[in-house]
Amino acid sequence: MKKVIMKGHEINLLGKTLNVGDIAPDFTVLDQNLNEVKLSDYKGIPVIVSTFPSIDTGVCAIQATKFNNEISKFSNKAKLILVSNDLPFALHRYCGANGIDNAIVTSAHRDEVFARDYGVLLDQIRLLARTVFIIDKSGKLVYKEIVENVSNEPDYNKALSVLNEII
C-alpha cells in the first residue's frame, strides 16, 4: 500500500494504483457553482488533474496558483482540473479572492469514488494527497506524481514539460 507523510506521520493512500499507460478513469466532481464536472467532458484535450488536501493551506494555495498561472500559457490546448475535498463554497471564496480563473477548481467531497479510483484518499482523515496526473488526448495517463511528503510542492517543471510534449 502506498504511503505519504503528513505532519510527520505516515498515512496510507486508499484506493487503486494507477500507472502511466493506464486509461484514466472517468470521474464526476463538483465545481465551485455546484455543477458536475467530468473528465470525459474534456475528451480529446490533454488534461492535468492535480489534487491537494485543502485550498486553505499554504502549499495547496501555492500549487493552485502556480498551475492556474501556467495553464494559461497553453491557450486552451489543455485543461487543468484541480480537485480537493473542500466544499465548493470554500473553493469559490478562495478562487474569487485570489484570481484563480484559468483552472477548473472542483470538490470531490460528495463521495470517495474519485479519490479511490485515483488512489489519492488519505486514510482516516478523508483528505486528498498532493498529486499530479496528466492525461493525454486519448485518455491515457502519461504522467503521475504522488508527492511523498504532503508539505512539499509537486514538480511543476517536470509536469509542465510532459504536458508541453503531448500538445
The tens digit of pLDDT for each residue in 28-56 reads 999 999 999 999 999 999 999 999 999 99
112 has a pLDDT exceeding 80: yes
Residues contacting 1, CB < 8 A, separation 6+ = 12, 13
Q: In whole angstroms, what separates CA 145 from the centre of its chain? A: 10
Average pLDDT over residues 106-135: 97
Residues of the chain with pLDDT > 90, as a percent, come to 96
Beta-sheet pairing, 79-84 with 47-51: parallel
**What residue ranges define each of the domains in the chain, with the CATH number in brackets?**
3-165 (3.40.30.10)
Catalytic residues, which ones? 60
106 has a pLDDT exceeding 80: yes
Average pLDDT over residues 72-93: 95
Pairwise CA distance, residues 48 & 71, whole Å: 9
Q: Label residue 86 by pLDDT band (50, 70, 90).
A: very high
1 has a pLDDT exceeding 80: no
pLDDT score, position 75:
83
